[in-house]
Amino acid sequence: MIRDSESSLTIADTSEKTNTAPSVDASLHGSVLVLIQFDVCEEIRLDKLREIFGARTLEQPSLKHPAPGYVRYQRPPVVEPIDALVLESGERLEGQIKFYDYGVVSVVLELPFSGDWDTLVRLGSRWVWDVDFAGHASRIAHQKLERATPALVKPYPDWLSEDYFIFHVREISGCPSANELVSSHGARIAQIVRGETAQLSEGEQNEILQSRISYYPNDLTVISWNAAFLYDSETGAETAIQLLEYANSQLLEFRHYDEFLTRELESVYASFDEGTGMLARWRLARAATKLHTVLLDVNELTEHADNAIKFLSDMFSARLYKLAASKVGVPDYKDLVTQKVQTAEELYRFMVDQFNQSRAFVLELMVVIILIIELVYFFRGKPI
């Protein structure tokens, strides 16, 4: 990630320490990252985009351990730097924009910090609920995409968006282990990932902290639906950050196809209301052809987004991705899309059957008419 030591936010409000962590010094250092993603088109031609921007390709994530397995992008996104964003509070965020081949644009903003837990909790709450990062990121994305238009396939007039916050702590005084950190500051971590300043109930804290994963004794990742807390080195956290970004981009894609299929199914149902006569059944053939084309496109494009990353023997990264995808809601929307695809396939078969019945009836009617004509001419004694 892009870092600027001059833009660091110093969190030094030590006068408001709570009694939750008397045994560990609360001084910590790290960065807050904001991920804002937009679904802008059906596909982005990355080769064309590199020609336009002269941008670099994202390097493959570093390994959590020196095993032969790794996480690999099928088509690594193109990365382009962006100007620093200065908030009304004076906070200066450095960042970059990433272009994924399946039509998602990701704006990543980062603010380094150092200070105590209390102020980090308040910072998280303010950023999660009060700062319009989506509006800032939308302006940045529109400016960049004005130049990138030739690389976009079937741009969308309206963009769906997702935002996500990552609180990455690199250093904590006393270098606590993951278990010590959860024991002494679990309540604070739960507040941070929920964006809450008020203390959460014990049940809610336990629910949040169940969604944690560690590889070494001194690293920790806690994932929630709208934010994550990482306690790791900069190199160690790199893979987790990229997998969280990828999971959110998947969620965005499945949300898009869920809405798209909903509209298509409503259109098909409306065609049934136009009537049940012979002509209406013949019109179903055109609607069935369109629906079948939609199904092919959806299956191809969702498979594209679903397989953008491969896990080759790196089981920890695979488990981390599975946890992240589950918490942000990828499986739920994927199931919705799958169900609607199945519904659409059943409707397609029904429409084809209706059309075939109508065609068979017409053919039979034509045979009967021809037979009647032949009989009429036969009884009149005239050759046809």
Q: Are 49 and 99 in contact (CB under 8 A)?
A: yes
Q: Quick one: three-class SS letters along 318-355?
A: HHHHHHHHHHHCHHHHHHHHHHHHHHHHHHHHHHHHHH
Determine the pLDDT at residue 304: 67
Q: Are 309 and 246 in contact (CB under 8 A)?
A: yes
What does the pLDDT average to over 53-75?
59
Q: What is the pLDDT of residues 321-344, one digit of tens each?
A: 999 999 999 999 988 888 888 888
Residue linked to tokens 């960065």 = 31
- Give, as one character, the DSSP assignment of residue 195: T
| Alpha helices, DSSP H, located in the chain | 46-53, 117-129, 133-148, 178-194, 202-209, 234-272, 278-306, 315-328, 330-380
Provide the pLDDT confidence category of residue 7 given band limits of 50, 70 and 90.
Answer: very low
End-to-end Cα, the chain, rounded Å: 86
Determine the pLDDT at residue 104: 95
C-alpha to C-alpha distance for 168 and 120, rounded to whole angstroms: 11
Determine the pLDDT at residue 1: 42
The pTM of this model reads: 0.79
Q: Are 49 and 156 in contact (CB under 8 A)?
A: no
Residues forming a β-bridge with 108: 35, 96
Residue 275 clears pLDDT 80, i.e. is over it = no
* Low-confidence winner among 57-61, 310-314, 366-370 (lowest mean pLDDT): 57-61
* Low-confidence winner among 54-58, 249-253, 323-327 (lowest mean pLDDT): 54-58
Listing DSSP states for 45-94 in one string gives: -HHHHHHHH-PEEPPPPPPSSS-S-EEEESSPPEEEEEEEEE-TTS-EEE
Residue linked to tokens 């589950």 = 326
Provide the pLDDT confidence category of residue 267 given band limits of 50, 70 and 90.
Answer: confident
Q: Spell out the domain ranges in the chain.
A: 5-240, 250-299+329-379
Closest CA to 320 of 254, 187, 222, 181: 222
